[in-house]
Structure 1
Amino acid sequence: MPSILGRSMVGVVLVAFMSGCASGPNANPQDPLEPFNRDMSVFNESVDSMVLKPVATVYRDATPDLVRTGVSNFFSNLGDVWSFINAALQLRPREASENFLRVGVNTAFGLGGVLDVASEMGIERTRLDFGQTLGRWGVPSGPYLVLPIFGPSSFRDAAGFGVETQGDLIQRLDSVSTRNSLIVLRAVETRANLLRATSMLEGAALDKYSFTRDVYLRRRQSQIEDLIDLGIGVRNGSEDTQDSK
């Protein structure tokens, strides 16, 4: 499964290249693949409206808050593993040690991560992904890219996503039924957490595609600039405390 997803990311990039580029005075220079991206956004919205959103809504309404909190904590604990790795790759010792401690404490004392004991102890979480790590070391973002199902991205972030997919602990489980069940549960829980944001977006944006693209690109650029500023501060021996929390 990890290799299949990795090849899928490459396939999406190739298809996007072959789809042609947007042109005209109103074309966004960061989104030369706008025709392809808009088509992919329409596809994603169709899948979401027919499958993901209804299932996530039922899950949210039918699942007790305590259970949902445990599910969210469990997957967040797995995410902290990658955040630790990326913090180490970005030469951020404080964030790396904090995320490492979070994984150890929550796994050992929080029933495998179901309980967020680390937060109760004041150990902070810093979410970091491999796309940010690539940006931290100067890899350019490349064009905006909408991935099937997964949504807004860029060429750099799609590459980072492919790398993290290869190391996804759930994808490496031997039991096919357990692995698939956890993948589905994670997708549903993630979508359920976005239900309110989706409703606000639908009510506020005249052009949902452009709004989503611009917000995504600004947010990612801000995160990368924070990482670069932090790197400069570390090299200069300053006490820069900027991060992407």
Structure 2
Amino acid sequence: MSLPKRLVLLLCCCIPLLGQAAEEYGNDPRDPWEGFNRAVFEFNDVADRYVAAPVARTYKKVTPDLVDQGIENVFNNVGEVKNFANDLLQGKPGDALVDFSRFLINTTVGVLGIFDVAGKIGLERQSEDFGQTLAHWGVDSGPYLVLPFLGPSTVRDGPSRLADGYVSPLREVEPFTADLGLMLLDLVQTRAKLLGSEDLMSGDRYTFMKDAYIQRREFLINDGELQDSFGDEDFESFDF
């Protein structure tokens, strides 16, 4: 069976689950598919507990902090291409110039991004993605959605990952096994940074993750500018 047919079959199997989810839960207007999302969340939780987290702990144990920071810097440098493209699409030429400058400086002077030289001279990194671009132009987030393996997202932000992946320089890496290896390394390195964060969760872990994701996305979409409770002025919040 071809991949498109498998995707269609998977979608058809999911539709009844979405209907059941709407009947069983549906109290949160942001999350009308809560039953389905909780099932995927539980699946991801098991995969994380028995695969991702142990691999991340091993990586953290055997990788010196200096090497780990260098790997993180390289992937951040690759992400500058995505940041640059989305800042242009959002009509932010000043931010796009910073993204381009960071990529140029860190790729050359920073030895392919191993060292964040641009950050040392005051060019701060900013995270932009196509989901933020769609939000900038008025596209609503749509229902909250938990993706297998990838975790929290929304109907708007989930498919936007494909657009961001299309402009990533990692697409040009050959052969495919090398590209896949880099993607897995990125995931492991990212998971390793989150080790211990489970201790910060309280109450229902699903709800905690959902609220944290939605608040984080709002923060990024508004470039860190949040409106006060009176709605008459904006203030710049701290990054978290």
TM-score normalised over the length of structure 2: 0.84
1:109–1:12 distance in 2 versus 1, CA, 3 Å: farther
Question: In the aligned structure 1, how far is the partner of 2:223 from the partner of 2:79?
Answer: 21
What is the aligned partner in structure 2 of residue 216 from structure 1?
A: 213
The 5 A counterparts of 1:42-61 are 42-61=42-61
Aligned residue in 2 for 1:206: 203
Percent sequence identity over aligned pairs: 39
1:168 aligns to what? Answer: 168
- Residue type matched to 2:210 in 1? R
Map of 1:37 onto structure 2: 37
- Shift of residue 124 of structure 1? 1.4
- 1:234 is matched with none
| 1:18 to 1:85, Cα distance in 2 relative to 1, 3 A | farther
Q: Secondary structure at the match of 2:156?
A: helix
Establish whether residue 122 from structure 1 lines up as the match of residue 122 from structure 2: yes
Assess if the C-alpha contact under 8 Å between 2:31 and 2:144 holds in 1: yes
The SS at the match of 1:104 is: helix
Give the AA of the match of 1:209: Y
> Cα offset for 1:228?
9.9
> Which structure has the higher relative contact order (CA within 8 Å, separation 6+)?
1
Aligned to 2:90: 90
Which residue of structure 1 lines up, in the alignment, with residue 231 of structure 2?
none
Deviates more, 1:61-70 or 1:18-27: 18-27
* Bigger shift: residues 89-98 or 145-154: 89-98
Cα gap change, 1:84 to 1:173, in 2 (>3 Å): same
Match for residue 62 of structure 1? 62
Shift, 1:164, TM fit: 1.4
Structure 1 residues 18 and 161: CA distance shift in structure 2, 3 A: farther
How many Å apart are 1:99 and its aligned residue?
0.7
The C-alpha deviation readout for 1:165-194, integer Å capped at 9, x for no partner, is 233322331223321221111111010011
Greater alpha carbon shift after TM alignment, 87-96 vs 21-30: 21-30
Superposed displacement of residue 68, structure 1? 0.3
Separation of aligned partners in 2, 1:158 and 1:177: 24
Partner of 1:189: 189
Are the equivalent residues in 1 in contact too, given 2:57–2:195 (CA < 8 A)?
A: yes
Question: Structure 1: any 5+ residue segments left out of the alignment?
Answer: 230-239
Does the CA contact (< 8 Å) of 2:24 and 2:35 recur in 1?
Answer: no
Amino acid corresponding to residue 180 of structure 2 in structure 1: N
Q: TM-score, normalised by structure 1?
A: 0.83
Letter paired with 2:168: D
Q: State how far apart, in whole Å, the 2-side matches of 1:156 and 1:124 are.
A: 27
How many residue pairs end up in the alignment?
A: 227
Distance 1:149 1:92 in 2: 32
Deviation by residue 1:74-118 (Cα, 9 ceiling, x = unmatched): 000011110111111111122111111000000011111111111
Could you say what secondary structure the match of 2:31 adopts? Answer: coil
1:147-171 residue CA offsets vs partner (Å, 9 max, x unmatched): 0111000000012112112333223
| Cα 1:224/1:11, change in 2 over 3 Å | farther
Name the SS of the counterpart of 1:123 in structure 2: coil
Q: Which runs of 5+ in 2 are unaligned?
A: 227-233
8 Å contact from structure 1 (residues 127, 244) kept in 2: no
